[in-house]
Structure 1
C-alpha cells in the first residue's frame, strides 16, 4: 500500500545515538529520514513539513512524547505514531493507545518487529489518506433521508451515540440502509478522520474470513506467500463495520469475541499479540436471538455487540419518505451522469411509487429511480412510466377505502374482523416503537400487561 515515492519518517529522540541507529536502519530500507532532538523541535517540523510517520521517544527533556502526542491531537496533525521507550509499562502502553498511537515499542527495538511495525503504520496512514480522498471526490447520499418518525428516531439515536465508543448492532431487512447508518455513526464520531473499514461476513468464504479479519503471517497456509494485514489492524484508530455478522462462523465468532474482550489480535499462523484500538459496528438481517436458540450465534458475542440497538425499518413502513428519497436519488445521479440532468417526477408518479411493493427496500427504490431516469421519454417522469417500469402497486399500499373493503369482505363476522384489525394495529405500533413495550403501551393507552397478553394472543414476534 505504500506509494512509490519514499515515505518520510521523522525520528524524535533526545539521544543522538538512538536517532543515528534508527536513521541507518530505516534509510537502508529506502525510507527518507529526518531527525528531531526534542518534542518542541518535532512539533515545529511537523507543522512546517509533511511526514508519513513519527517515531517518538516518550522520555525526553522538555516536552515528552505523551505531551507532544496530545499537542498533535489538539492541532489536528494526523499521522501514524510509533512510541519508543526504554522503560515500558502496561500503563504507558494504555496511555499511548488512548492518545492514538499506532504502536508502542521497547528500546532498543527488535529489528524485525520495528520494520514490520513501520510498514504496517505506513499502510494504515495510506489507507486513512485514501479514505479522506474518496470522501472528498465521490458524491454520496451521506445523510439519512426521511421525515418519518422511525427515521427521526434513528437520527436522534445516532447523534447521541456517535460521539461515544459504544458498540452498535444495526438490524433490518436487506436494502434498508444499514451501511448508511454505520457510516453516519463513523462520520459523526471522534474517529471520523481515521479509517472506516467494512467487512461483508456473508461474502467471504468461512475458511478465508479469519485471515481477512486478523491477517496472516507468511507461510501460515498454502498460498500465504507474504504477510497480510487484516481488517482489525487496518481499522486501528477508526471504525470496523462487520456487515451481515449473522453469517459469521462460530469459530470466527469466538476469535472476534476474544479481540473485543482483550483489544488484541493474533494473525493466522502467528503468536505475537497485536494491540488494536477499533470501534465495532455490526449489522445483520437475521434475528440473532433466534440464531442463538438454534446455536448458530454466540450469546456472549451478541451481548458484546448489542450495547446500542438500532433497527432500520423496511421502506413499506415509512412510505412517506419515498418522495424525498426518489428526488434525492435523482439529484445524486444528475451529479454523475448528464442523462439525469433536468429530470423530475410528477406528483402522480411519486404517489404511485409510494404505493409500490418495495420488497428490496431503499436499494430497490434506487435501482428503479435509475431505470426511470434513463428510460423515461420526457423530462418529467410520469405515473405511466412508473407503472410500466416499476411493476404493479402493492395490495397493502392501496388506498384506505379499498383496503377497508378488502377487510370487510375477508372477515364477515364482528369478532374475526375485530381480531384482524387489532392484530394489524398492535403489530404496527410495536414496529413503530421498535418493540419497546413501555413506550408502545403508553402510546396506545393500555397497560404493559395487556400489551403482553395481546402479543401472546396473536403470537407476534419481532
Structure 2
C-alpha cells in the first residue's frame, strides 16, 4: 500500500489542521532528525510517531515508552537496560528500549515527566549515540530515530528549571503541533465512520448506531475536552446503549453528560481533602480544616438549598482546598501542589482561574497572595 494512503487511513480527516499535520509528517519522515509532537491529552500524538516510522522506511520496529507511566526509579533501567545483579531483582541481563529500537524509532511519550537526572543521561546518548546498561561500563552503539511527545508547555518547564534547555534543543528540532479535536470539528463525521466500523469489526453481530442531522450537529458543537479519546469512548457507549438506533441531539446530550475528565479531577480534589485532614490530625497545630466528622448528608444539602448549583459548589470546594493546601504548605506552591496531587503549573492556572492572583519568588517558590481587583 502507498505510504501516503496508509498515513491518510491512520490520521483521519480532511480539515486544514489535519492535512497540515500529515504534510509535516511526510516532509520530515525521510530525515533522521528529532521530532517533538505537542498537543493536548487524547489528541493522538502517538499517531504522529507511528506515521513518521511508517514513512521513514526504517526496518527496525517502533518502540514506545510512556515516561509518565513508569516510576522514576525504574525508568532508567527500562530505557538503558541492565546487567544481571545490577540491583535487587535483576536476575538476568536485559536490553533497554534504546537497544530494542535499533534500526527503528524510539517514541518517548510524556517526555516532560522525565526526571532531571535522567534528562542529562538522555542528552549524552543523543550526543554520543552509545548507551551503557545499568551495572555495566560497556558502551553499546545505538541507532534509532527519536520522536518525543508532551501535552505540557515544555518551554515553561524550562523556565521553571523542570526541564533542561539543552535537551529541549536536541529533541525539538522539528516540532509538530497536534490539534485538539475542537480545532478540527469538520473531521468528526469521518472519525465517526471510522470508529463505528472499528466497533463493528471488534464486535461481530453488533448493529452500530447512526446519527441524524441534529445529532451530528450536536457532536460538532461540543468542545471535546478529552479529544479523540473522548470521542472513541462516546462511540463505545453509544454502540452499547443505542445499538441499531438513530441518535438525535437529545441522546447525544445524554451520552455526553458523563464527563470522565471532570470526574477524575473531582476525585483528585476529594483525595486531597482526605490528605489534608490526615496531616491536620497528626500535627500539633491548633488550626484544623473545618470539615464535619462522619458521613456528610448530601441529600439534606440538596433539599435544604432550593437554588443549589453543583458547579458553584465544586468551585467553592476547590477554592477552599487550594487555600487549605497553601496554608498547610506555608505558602509554598510546590508543596501545595504536592498535597493536592497537582502539578505546580496546574495549581497556578487554578489560582488564576479563581482570581486568586499570585506573585512567586523564584528563589523559594513562595506564593504571596494579591487581592483581586474589583
| TM score, norm. by length of structure 2 | 0.65
Mapped to 1, the partners of 2:233 and 2:54 lie a distance apart of 25
Please tell me whether residue 306 in structure 1 is matched to residue 169 in structure 2.
Answer: no
Larger Rg: 1
Please tell me whether residue 207 in structure 1 is matched to residue 73 in structure 2.
Answer: yes
Structure 2 counterpart SS, 1:331? helix
Partner deviation per Cα, 1:87-128 (whole Å, 9 max, x = no partner): xxxxxxxxxxxxxxxxxxxxxxxxxxxxxxxxxxxxxxxxxx
Partner deviation per Cα, 1:180-239 (whole Å, 9 max, x = no partner): 111011111111x32100000000000000000000011111111111110000110100
- 1:141 Cα offset (Å): 9.3
- Decide which of 341, 356, 359 is 2:222's aligned counterpart: 356
Mapped to 2, the partners of 1:180 and 1:249 lie a distance apart of 25
Q: 1:440 — aligned with what? A: none
Structure 2 counterpart SS, 1:271? coil
Mapped to 1, the partners of 2:38 and 2:116 lie a distance apart of 20
- Quick check: 241-250 or 373-382, which moved more? 373-382
Q: Is the 8 A contact 2:210 2:244 kept in 1?
A: no
Q: 2:23 — aligned with what? A: 156
- 1:392 Cα offset (Å): 9.2
Partner deviation per Cα, 1:380-412 (whole Å, 9 max, x = no partner): 33333212212299xxxxxxxxxxxxxxxxxxx
Mapped to 1, the partners of 2:10 and 2:16 lie a distance apart of 16
- Quick check: 161-170 or 336-345, which moved more? 336-345
User: Residues 252, 380 of structure 1: CA spacing in aligned structure 2 closer, same or farther, 3 A cutoff?
Assistant: same
Mapped to 2, the partners of 1:198 and 1:172 lie a distance apart of 17
Structure 2 counterpart SS, 1:232? helix
- Decide which of 84, 87, 93 is 1:227's aligned counterpart: 93
- Decide which of 206, 228, 233 is 1:367's aligned counterpart: 233
Mapped to 1, the partners of 2:247 and 2:205 lie a distance apart of 13
Where in structure 2 are the equivalents of 1:37-186 lying within 5 Å? 143-186=10-53
Give the CA RMSD over aligned residues: 2.0
Partner deviation per Cα, 1:298-322 (whole Å, 9 max, x = no partner): 1111010011100111111221111
Structure 2 counterpart SS, 1:269? coil
Where in structure 2 are the equivalents of 1:424-435 lying within 5 Å? none
Mapped to 2, the partners of 1:197 and 1:151 lie a distance apart of 24
- 1:351 Cα offset (Å): 1.0
Where in structure 2 are the equivalents of 1:270-419 lying within 5 Å? 270-338=136-204, 340-391=206-257
Partner deviation per Cα, 1:311-353 (whole Å, 9 max, x = no partner): 1111112211112111211111111112544532222211111
Mapped to 1, the partners of 2:205 and 2:157 lie a distance apart of 45
Please tell me whether residue 254 in structure 1 is matched to residue 120 in structure 2.
Answer: yes
Mapped to 1, the partners of 2:57 and 2:243 lie a distance apart of 47
Structure 2 counterpart SS, 1:252? helix
Count residues with an aligned counterpart. Answer: 254
Mapped to 2, the partners of 1:299 and 1:342 lie a distance apart of 49
Q: Is the 8 A contact 2:208 2:243 kept in 1?
A: no
User: Residues 290, 339 of structure 1: CA spacing in aligned structure 2 closer, same or farther, 3 A cutoff?
Assistant: farther
User: Residues 339, 353 of structure 1: CA spacing in aligned structure 2 closer, same or farther, 3 A cutoff?
Assistant: farther
Tell me which stretches of 4 or more aligned residues in structure 1 moved more than 6 Å.
none
- 1:146 Cα offset (Å): 1.4
Mapped to 2, the partners of 1:224 and 1:342 lie a distance apart of 49
Q: Is the 8 A contact 2:64 2:109 kept in 1?
A: yes
- 1:291 Cα offset (Å): 0.5
Q: Is the 8 A contact 1:241 1:280 kept in 2?
A: yes
Mapped to 1, the partners of 2:86 and 2:94 lie a distance apart of 10
Mapped to 1, the partners of 2:122 and 2:206 lie a distance apart of 44
Q: Is the 8 A contact 2:130 2:140 kept in 1?
A: yes
Q: Is the 8 A contact 1:339 1:373 kept in 2?
A: no
More relative contact order in 1 or in 2 (CA 8 Å, sep 6+)?
2
Structure 1 gaps, min length 5: 1-139, 394-462
- 1:275 Cα offset (Å): 0.3
Partner deviation per Cα, 1:33-70 (whole Å, 9 max, x = no partner): xxxxxxxxxxxxxxxxxxxxxxxxxxxxxxxxxxxxxx
Q: Is the 8 A contact 1:356 1:392 kept in 2?
A: no
